[in-house]
Amino acid sequence: MHVIFVEPAFPANQMEFVRGLHAVGAKVTGIGERPLQALPADLRNQMVAYERVGSVCNESEMTEAVRRIQAKAPVDRMEATVEAHVMPIAKVREACGIPGTSVETTWACRDKPTMKEILRNAGVATAQSTGAGTPEEAREFAGRVGYPLIIKPRGGAGASGTHKVTDDAELEVAIQASGLAHGESVAIEEFVEGHEGFYDTMTVDGKVTHDFVTHYYPNVLEAMRTRWISPQFIVTNRIDTAKDYQEVRELGRQVIEALKIDTAPTHMEWFFGPKGLKFSEIGCRPPGVGAWDLYCAANEMDLYAEWAMAICWGRTSRAPSRRYSAGIITLRPDQDGTISTIDGLDEIQREYGEWIIDFHLPNPGTPTQGVEAGYMANAWLRMRHPDFDELRAMLNRVGETVKVHAR
């Protein structure tokens, strides 16, 4: 089995996918933007070849690189796991006759208005939405659906570039800030009230082989806008025992079928509130910000190797243990600037040392990153525990105790 893996070194967790492929016996050829000698030795040793390109998002350059590789040896799969890479790679994959997620499915998972239209037609509960290419189209949708609304990039990930608007004045601000006033096309949709989480799967031949349910505290948009909050997300180990999660699983199955997802990882966002369970959006790729590392720690498994087994051999090898819930808490600096001191970690280690998976605390003098930079910006700590509620209380205690100071 010969697999091309795109951009094997950046971001850093990309190396875990190469490791997984190597562990299940695949021959891996990497395509990336860095010189070969700049890659870590372990990574170089896990690949049989490497092609350097100027940009892995440049379709013509990537097509030429892939054809050079195919001229030397047949290629069985070509994989990309970063959201910005999946569409150009799907087009290159089809141009070069390599199996994998189609352009049609990739587009449906990337373009939010298309995604929502397909899913509504399939009977999946989701917010009213549309694509808007002009300010007039956005104003018409607002007048028809009402406020609040969400405006976001058509192919964005997470909360990046997302605007919540609650009245006409805020809509006009968002029209400018989103680029809609300057020719950008955006997704605009009904704001769905409720608790937010995500449902991640490994799917083989359209069937879910592994799945995980994770909760946000608080919802992402609030977390990425409010400095004093130490946001968390926690994967539950109750997915097999709590009846409420069966509805989430069925929602995911409907989405996978409607979008014609074959063998691939998925990352689906959902809301549960006064209007019941609502699908939000999907990426046909693994989640970001280290979520798979939490799944590995919570379930005593190597999910990267399980992904590689699915990609290479069309099966997975073991079930998640569901022994632990696991979560991450972001520890934000009290102001922008540079890190000066971090207090309270010793106390947390004394109280909860056996449950700590790992943590990252930047050195004094490190420039801070903004509130919107995400869950693994600045400082963070990850933990696991057999009881979900106890874990959440422990993470709350971390947020109250560990303080990151900047000046």
Residues 138 and 90 occupy one common structural domain: no
* CA nearest neighbour of 188 among 213, 162, 170: 162
Give the containing element (helix H, strand E) for 391. helix 388-401
- Radius of gyration from C-alpha coordinates of the chain: 22
Residue 116 counted as domain residue: no
pLDDT at res. 236? 98
Residues 31 and 137 occupy one common structural domain: no
Residues 267 and 349 occupy one common structural domain: yes
Residue 13 counted as domain residue: yes
Residues 177 and 223 occupy one common structural domain: no
Residues 94 and 165 occupy one common structural domain: no
pLDDT at res. 156? 59
The model's pTM:
0.90
pLDDT at res. 98? 98
Q: Are 326 and 384 in contact (CB under 8 A)?
A: yes
pLDDT at res. 159? 58
Residue ranges of the chain with per-residue pLDDT less than 70? 155-160
Residues 222 and 83 occupy one common structural domain: no
pLDDT at res. 100? 94
Domain range for 88: 2-100
Residue 296 counted as domain residue: yes
pLDDT at res. 158? 54
- From CA 50, how far away is CA 20, in angstroms rounded? 17
Query: What are the tens digits of pLDDT across the range 62-76?
Result: 999 999 999 999 999
Residues 29 and 132 occupy one common structural domain: no
CATH of the domain at 179: 3.30.1490.20
Total of domains in the chain: 3
Residues 339 and 254 occupy one common structural domain: yes
Residues 282 and 399 occupy one common structural domain: yes
- Chain Cα centroid distance, residue 83: 8
Residues 276 and 398 occupy one common structural domain: yes
pLDDT at res. 221? 86
**CB atoms closer than 10 angstroms to residue 42:** 11
* CA nearest neighbour of 283 among 198, 216, 215, 210: 198
Q: Which two tokens stand for residue 126?
A: 């989701």
